[in-house]
C-alpha cells in the first residue's frame, strides 16, 4: 500500500494591482501622471477622465483605490467631487491659496500637490501611500496608525531614511531581488544568518512598510509569514 501524497502548501495568487484614476482635463498632464502610476509595480492606472461626470461614472462602476484629482474641471469643481468620493484621494492642482488647501484637506484629501511640481514628488507620494496601506493592512494598533500617518505625511524618502545595519540591508535586498514571495528561512539561507535574525529584520521592514507580508497556509494548517517587495 502506498502512502498518501503529502499535500502541497497552498499558495494564494499574487494580489491584483491597486487601481488609480487620474481626473484632469489636460490630456498631456493626465498621461504624464498615468505613466508615473504605471511605473509602480503595485499600481495600475485606469484610463484618465477629464470631467466630474466621467469620474463619477468610473468610481460607480469600477474598483478605484486612489484618485488623483485636479480641482479645475469643465463641468464642476473638484472640491465638490472630493466631498462625494469614498476613495483615497490626492489633490493635484494649481490652486495655492490657503482656503482651498484647507478645504481639500478637510474634505479628506490625503495629499495636496501644487502644480507644477517635480515628477519625483508624485512618485514619492505614491510610494508613501503604498507603504501607508501596507502598514495598516499588516495588523492595526495605535502604534501602527501613528506610524502609517507619519509615512503618509513625511513622504517615502524621509520615512525610510533611518539608518540600516549591513545585515538588515542584505535582508531587504534579498527580498527585493526575488521574483516570488520568500520566507524567513529562505532569506536566512541566502544572507547567511539565523532564521530568528532574518525574521526580526523582516518584521521590522514589514512594520516600516518597506516589505509586504502575507500569510500562507501549508499542509499543517499553521500559517507561514512570507515577504515580498512593496
Helix (H, G, I), strand (E, B) or coil at 15: coil
User: What is the distance, to the nearest Å, from the Cα of residue 78 to the centroid of all Cα atoms in its chain?
Assistant: 23
Question: Is it the case that residue 66 has pLDDT exceeding 60?
Answer: yes
pLDDT given for residue 3 in this prediction: 47
H or E stretch covering 111: strand 111-114
The chain-wide mean pLDDT, for the chain, equals 84
The segment(s) of the chain belonging to CATH 3.40.50.2300 are: 18-117
Report pLDDT digits (tens) over 80-127: 999 999 999 999 999 999 999 999 999 999 999 999 988 889 999 999
Query: What residues does CATH 1.10.10.10 cover in the chain?
Result: 162-229
Structural fold of domain 18-117: Rossmann fold (3.40.50)
Q: pLDDT category, 61, cuts 50, 70, 90? A: very high
pTM, to two decimals? 0.68
Reported as a pLDDT band with limits 50, 70 and 90, residue 221 is low
- What cell does 29 get? 498632464
CB proximity list for 67: less than 8 A, separation 6 or greater: 20, 21, 23, 55, 59, 85, 87, 88, 89, 90
Domain 162-229, CATH class in plain words: mainly alpha
Going by pLDDT thresholds of 50, 70 and 90, the confidence category of residue 161 is very low
Residue 28 has pLDDT above 70, yes or no: yes
* Torsional class of 224: left (φ above 0), alpha (ψ -120 to 50), beta (otherwise): beta
Cell numbers 482656503: residue? 99
Residue 20: strand pairing partners: 45, 66
Q: Residue 169 belongs to what H/E stretch?
A: helix 166-177
pLDDT, position 202: 84
Report DSSP letters for 40-100, one per residue. Answer: STTEEEPPPB-SHHHHHHHHHHS--SEEEE-SEETTEEHHHHHHH--SEEEEEES---HHH
Residue 10, pLDDT score? 44
What does the pLDDT read at residue 64?
97
Strand, helix or coil for residue 123: helix
Mean pLDDT of 146-169: 70
Amino acid at each position: 500500500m502506498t502512502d498518501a501524497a503529502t499535500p502541497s502548501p497552498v499558495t494564494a495568487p499574487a494580489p491584483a494591482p491597486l487601481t488609480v484614476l487620474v481626473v484632469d482635463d489636460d490630456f498631456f498632464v493626465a498621461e504624464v501622471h498615468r505613466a508615473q502610476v504605471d511605473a509602480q509595480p503595485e499600481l495600475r492606472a485606469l484610463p484618465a477622465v477629464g470631467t466630474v461626470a466621467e469620474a463619477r461614472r468610473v468610481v460607480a462602476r469600477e474598483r478605484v483605490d486612489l484618485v488623483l484629482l485636479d480641482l479645475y474641471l469643465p463641468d464642476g469643481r473638484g472640491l465638490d467631487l472630493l466631498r462625494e468620493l469614498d476613495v483615497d484621494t490626492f489633490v493635484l492642482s494649481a490652486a495655492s491659496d490657503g482656503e482651498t488647501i484647507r478645504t481639500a484637506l478637510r474634505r479628506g484629501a490625503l495629499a495636496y500637490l501644487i502644480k507644477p511640481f517635480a515628477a519625483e514628488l508624485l512618485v514619492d507620494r505614491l510610494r508613501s501611500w503604498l507603504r501607508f496601506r501596507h502598514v495598516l493592512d499588516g495588523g492595526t494598533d495605535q502604534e501602527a496608525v501613528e506610524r502609517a500617518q507619519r509615512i503618509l505625511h513625511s513622504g517615502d524618502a524621509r520615512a525610510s531614511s533611518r539608518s540600516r545595519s549591513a545585515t538588515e540591508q542584505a535582508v531587504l535586498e534579498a527580498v527585493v531581488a526575488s521574483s516570488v514571495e520568500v520566507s524567513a528561512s529562505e532569506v536566512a539561507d541566502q544572507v547567511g544568518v539565523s532564521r530568528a535574525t532574518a525574521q526580526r529584520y523582516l518584521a521590522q521592514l514589514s512594520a516600516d512598510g518597506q516589505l509586504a507580508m502575507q500569510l500562507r497556509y501549508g499542509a499543517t494548517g499553521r500559517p507561514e509569514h512570507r515577504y515580498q517587495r512593496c
